[in-house]
Amino acid sequence: MMTEKIVEKHAEFEALRKCGMRWAVLLSLSFDLSKKKVTLTSSAIDELRTSRMMLESGCFSSCDICCILDGVEQKLVLEAVSLGKIF
């Protein structure tokens, strides 16, 4: 029983770690788009900030954070595609 909890906690920690890496990639993409003079929606920027605070607090599940990152990714990829470049 104790081992199951440890495995479950470890799996959640790994999922949160992956969310953190995904957040960093999306932040980098947002900077790259900004350098290319693409105007990002305020909601995408706000959602990046919110997801960072959620990650840092440790009070939210990886599922909650991934849901927000999914929306951010969708918005950023749409902007990147509008540049006409495949990445």
Residue type, 43: S
Q: What are the residues whose beta carbons fall under 8 Å from the beta carbon of 75, sequence distance 6 or more?
A: 40, 41, 43, 44
User: Which residue is listed with tokens 């980098």?
Assistant: 28
Full-model pTM: 0.87
65 occurs within a structural domain: yes
| Domains contained in the chain, number | 1
33 occurs within a structural domain: yes
pLDDT tens string for the chain (87 positions)?
679 999 999 999 999 999 999 999 999 999 999 999 999 999 999 999 999 999 999 999 999 999 999 999 999 999 999 887 554
87 occurs within a structural domain: no
Q: Give the integer Cα–Cα distance in Å for 43 and 25.
A: 18
CA angle 53, 59, 64 (to 5 degrees): 75
10 occurs within a structural domain: yes
16, 55 in Cβ contact below 8 A?
Answer: yes
48 occurs within a structural domain: yes
Residue type, 30: S
Question: What's the domain range around 22?
Answer: 2-82
